Amino acid sequence: MHVGLIGGIEPAVTFRYYQRLFEIALAKKFSLELTVVNCDMPQFLNNFSQDKKENQASIFAELASRLQKAGADFVVLPSIGGSFCLNEFIKKSPLPVQDVITPLRTYLDTYKGKTMGLVGTNKAMDTKIYNLTDGINWLIPEAEQFDDVHNSYVALATEGKANRQISKTLISASKKLIDRGADAVVLGGTDLFLVFENHQLPFEIIDCADIHIGHIATLAAK
């Protein structure tokens, strides 16, 4: 199947999805058809910060139309932040939407632990990844760290790299969630790999992007 990818919301994520999908295609010996369109990041951040769901959904739908014209069979939204308008986008999109949250939900349904720590944007943490709550007890950073985690994540997403302070803040917050009883920490952002993939940590990390990429690769191989 032909994959249509909305890129540009988090530049490092766009590259990661592109790279990992091609690596999987080579390993599993199937031909990958992939088209990428770019979403305007400043415009997205403005709509996200002001909760303009209909505006952003319309922008995503227009990008999906371009992907459809290029031959895509479905559209991939590789962003938990972008999922703030997911329901509105699904209604407007001319293509089936493959979001991050659905495969993450499926994964967590079969996961051995049911108390999950969560780091990400304030919306992702406040809403428990947009009401992904069935059978899960979520732990989020306490008040004194909550804004620091959000601000560190936004800086990471916009800069596309993790400096020492960003990494320290996010890893420290994650460790505290484990200390409070979390079985694992869910990375509530597809670019959090920039912090966590280069650290050997004494607790489990669940990377929503890895789960999503695996799901997309399965569809692409059909």
CATH code of the domain covering residue 81 = 3.40.50.1860
Residue 75 and residue 6 in contact, taking contact as beta carbons nearer than 8 Å: yes
Both 77 and 133 in one domain: the answer is no
Q: Is 54 left (phi over 0), alpha (psi -120 to 50) or beta?
A: alpha
Residue 3 and residue 219 in contact, taking contact as beta carbons nearer than 8 Å: yes
Both 148 and 86 in one domain: the answer is no
* Number of separate helices (H) and strands (E) present in the chain: 11, 8
Residues in the chain with pLDDT values less than 50: none
Both 109 and 202 in one domain: the answer is yes
Both 67 and 163 in one domain: the answer is no
Helix (H) or strand (E) holding 89: helix 86-92
Both 170 and 152 in one domain: the answer is yes
What local confidence, expressed as pLDDT, does residue 157 receive? 86
Both 138 and 175 in one domain: the answer is yes
Both 128 and 168 in one domain: the answer is yes
In this prediction the pTM is: 0.93
What local confidence, expressed as pLDDT, does residue 222 receive? 87
Overall number of domains in the chain: 2
**130: domain range?**
102-208
Alpha carbon distance 131, 40 (integer Å) = 27
Both 156 and 188 in one domain: the answer is yes
Both 59 and 126 in one domain: the answer is no
Closest residue by Cα to residue 96 from 207, 2, 193, 22: 2
What local confidence, expressed as pLDDT, does residue 100 receive? 96
